[in-house]
Amino acid sequence: MREVEAMKISIIMPVYGVEDYVEKAIKSVLSQSLTDFEFFAVDDGSKDKSGAICDELAKTDSRLKVIHQENQGSSAARNAGLDKATGKYVYFIDADDWIEQDMLENMYNLAEKK
């Protein structure tokens, strides 16, 4: 029986009240040159459309999974993602940031080399 190799990277993004930014953040992750990752967007009880935006984008890419929870703060949101994470490495991104297309690949290769 073949052993299943772990996902390279688990990406966790707390989401709260960022409807103007979250789509850009998610798309920057989904367009990475390294594609072997899982991505958890944790909607921490947003009162705006942030959670719905995450849900819509999750329909377009199976690597994105959305977790909805009552508002508990960004630490609890990160922990909710960590509970589901299977990656060898974990990367946290804020929902109002974005990353360059080769960032995950560069970071992964550097971590493996060092």
pLDDT tens figures, 28-63: 999 999 999 999 999 999 999 999 999 999 999 999
DSSP letter (8 states) at residue 101: T
Domains of the chain (ranges; CATH) run 9-113 (3.90.550.10)
How far apart CA 1 and CA 64 sit, in angstroms, is 29
pTM above 0.85, yes or no: yes
CB-based contact 9:93 (threshold 8 Å): no
Question: Which neighbouring-strand residues pair with 43?
Answer: 15, 68
Q: Which of 9, 59, 66, 65 is nearest to 36 (CA)?
A: 9
Find how far residue 109's CA is from the centre of its chain. 19
